[in-house]
Amino acid sequence: MDIAPPHIRAMARASLALPDDKLMAECVVDLFVASGPGGQHRNKTESAVRLHHLPSGIVVTATERRSQIQNRLMALVRLRDKLQALTFVPKLRRPTKPSRSAKERRLSEKKRDGEVKRQRRADFD
């Protein structure tokens, strides 16, 4: 997963804090004719919604419903999900070393396994 630069994360956080109408104001809304099942109403009306969020460049579409209003709400949900993904900051990983007892335990198990294999080989000779 790519990590967004700090200024993009800050912009995404600011956009997430906005109410729906303000977030829509940051977007270019395209309405188009959706294809697929749904009959004449879906095939002849511009019920599909595409949102292009200008500050981040994210584009989301919603075409599954026959209602433009429902598709607009679904597109907003998807836009918020993508903006939320931009705000992700992974935790820093600190490398750890095995403890002395863990090393000793692993070495003693290896010695024991080697001895078992040696005994097995001696039994066949």
Determine, yes or no, domain membership for 114.
no
Note down the domain range covering 52. 6-86
Determine, yes or no, domain membership for 22.
yes
The continuous run of DSSP H or E covering 117 comes out as: helix 100-124
Per residue in 22-78, pLDDT tens? 999 999 999 998 877 766 666 778 889 999 999 999 999 999 888 899 999 999 999
- pLDDT of 87 over the 60 cut: yes
**109: which 2 tokens?**
């198990």
Cα separation, 111 vs 119, in Å, equals 12
Per residue in 71-84, pLDDT tens? 999 999 999 999 99
Determine, yes or no, domain membership for 51.
yes
- pLDDT of 2 over the 90 cut: no
Determine, yes or no, domain membership for 111.
no
DSSP E strands, 71-121? none
pLDDT for position 5: 83
Determine, yes or no, domain membership for 53.
yes
Banded pLDDT at 105 (limits 50, 70, 90):
very high
DSSP-assigned beta bridge partners for residue 61 = 50
pTM (two decimals): 0.69
CATH (domain of 76): 3.30.160.20
Determine, yes or no, domain membership for 47.
yes
* Count of structural domains within the chain: 1
